[in-house]
Amino acid sequence: MTSPAGPAVAIDAGARFLRVARVEADGTPRLVDLPGAVPGEGMTTPAAVRGDRDAALRLAYAAYREHCGTPERLVVVVPQGEQDRPAPDIGVSRPRLLGTPHAVLALLRHAGGPPAWPLLVCDLGASGIDIARCALVGRVVGVSRVTRYAPGPTGYGTAFDAAVLDGAGMAADEPAVLRELALARAASVRRTEAALDRMALRPDRAERFADTVVHEVAGREITAGVVQRALSRLTDGLDRALEGIRPGPDRLPVIAVGGPARSGALIQHLTERLGPVAAPLDGTDPASAPVLGAALVAAGRADAADRYPYAIAVRVHRTVAGRLRDGELLISPPGTLVSGGATVFAEDRGERVRLRTAPAAGGGDREVGLVVRDAGAGTAVSAGTAMVPATADARLHVGLRIATDGTARLVLQPLGRSPDDANAPQLTPTEIPLGALPTDVRPAETDRPPDTRGVRT
């Protein structure tokens, strides 16, 4: 990891709040105190940009630049599975997109590591619920989505806010009211939880405890009963997200993040269904955990572990002056392969390289060797071999991808017999499992030179 020359910033553009974080001089990631921000929350997301993450991101980035200047590096937190989408045009060159689970786990790994592998990261957000299974495979954290629940325009956490305000006779679409609700809620967390606990422990006196005022918003009293009734929006949504999930006898550790994860009642509900739930870190606000982890990644203080750090090449034979010569074809440069991301194909000057495979001696499939290189150390190790189906005249593109379980696949995309025909149908690619890629490119004394068997270019 390398630290940027200038300021490094992370942004989490949520449906309710725009959170911006950076690492301070003491090495601690903190939210940036921007004008108009709710303490501990961030800037309220204007109604005009809710549902448009790119527009919300541009707004947050513009506010940071106006207040603090232009950052050297920017990391943007996005929902799992969106790391490969085109980076938004917000006035900075190619911000890095980091999925929420990887951002949360960067925070945990920086502090010493999660409780165990594998584990579940449960993102309880304003717009929906995202639960992902995370496993460490070598140098990469493999992430696969377990379930997703997004109840449309009403949202998930936002529906809870709307129910609270509606119960107090207030409109839920006024930014000033939402901002005041966030301030009041932050100041009364313990009082609210204590009132809800009393209602749960003493059902015979629940109605009396329900009249307890836990905070005020715009001069209106919010009672424990109003909050309890609104909580059904959160628990019912969680139950819908977990439909069909049958936890096994060996339950995985659960890390809960997002604004609703502050609710002790909701965490208890989640615990009853998935097992014990841990906070991201002691004293860390679960709503800020993703952007704080992303800030550590931006500053070079933590490895997101979402990308394979080394270059991967395949051994090939090239025809030079009528003679076959051994060589290597780079498929994936360092830091290109993203866990659960798209296939990366070998390219030359922006165009995919076309290769062909010839049958091995005696016919049949050809054994092709792969090489992993650390450009910085100048070392290389063999990544093993793959049996590649061989035909004498077919052309193909060769690529790699890392599956959601963290293991690699060699991808062969055939072009058919008319590769120049743009109208030719796309043929089904072949994927060859490679297992976990090498985690340390420092060859031992017993290592042999990389395999020289390959395909022809």
**136 φ/ψ angles, rounded to the nearest 5 degrees:** -90, 120
In a domain, 354, yes or no: yes
* Residue whose C-alpha is closest to residue 99's, from 256, 305, 267: 305
In a domain, 43, yes or no: yes
Written as six digits, the tokens of 93 are: 């060159």
Q: Which of 245, 276, 298 lies at the terminal end of a domain, its last residue?
A: 298
3-state secondary structure of 38: strand
Same domain membership, residue 372 and residue 409: yes
DSSP-assigned beta bridge partners for residue 278 = 255
Output b/e per residue, 55-87; b: 16+ Cβ within 10 A: bbbbbbbebbeeeeeebebbbbbbbbbebeeee
In a domain, 175, yes or no: yes
Domain count, the chain: 3
Same domain membership, residue 344 and residue 226: no
Q: What pLDDT score was predicted for residue 296?
A: 98
Same domain membership, residue 331 and residue 293: no
d(CA 140, CA 86): 22
Domain containing 105 equals 1-111+284-298
Same domain membership, residue 178 and residue 82: no
In a domain, 421, yes or no: yes
In a domain, 121, yes or no: no
Q: What pLDDT score was predicted for residue 393?
A: 66
Same domain membership, residue 191 and residue 81: no
In a domain, 168, yes or no: yes
Q: What pLDDT score was predicted for residue 360?
A: 64
- Going through 231-271 in order, the beta strands assigned E by DSSP cover 254-257
Same domain membership, residue 370 and residue 333: yes
d(CA 39, CA 415): 56
Q: Which of 266, 298, 330 lies at the terminal end of a domain, its last residue?
A: 298
Full pLDDT tens readout for the chain, 457 residues:
666 656 899 999 999 999 999 999 999 999 999 998 998 899 999 988 988 989 999 999 999 999 999 999 999 999 988 887 787 778 766 799 999 999 999 999 999 989 899 999 999 999 999 999 999 988 899 998 889 999 988 899 999 999 999 999 998 878 788 889 988 998 898 999 999 999 999 999 999 999 999 999 999 999 999 999 999 999 999 999 999 787 767 789 999 999 999 999 999 999 999 998 988 888 899 999 999 999 999 999 999 999 899 999 999 877 666 677 788 999 999 989 988 888 999 999 999 999 887 776 666 788 889 999 987 778 899 888 898 887 666 789 999 999 888 889 999 998 865 444 556 566 789 999 999 888 888 755 444 444 445 565 5
* Residue whose C-alpha is closest to residue 413's, from 340, 350, 343: 343
Report the CATH number at residue 60. 3.30.420.40
In a domain, 142, yes or no: no
Same domain membership, residue 363 and residue 328: yes
Q: Which of 251, 274, 298 lies at the terminal end of a domain, its last residue?
A: 298
Same domain membership, residue 172 and residue 105: no
Same domain membership, residue 101 and residue 10: yes
Same domain membership, residue 424 and residue 323: yes
* Residue whose C-alpha is closest to residue 8's, from 394, 410, 297: 297
Same domain membership, residue 322 and residue 427: yes
Same domain membership, residue 437 and residue 320: yes
In a domain, 29, yes or no: yes
How far is residue 11 CA from its own chain's centroid? 13
Helices (H), 82-174: 100-110, 157-167
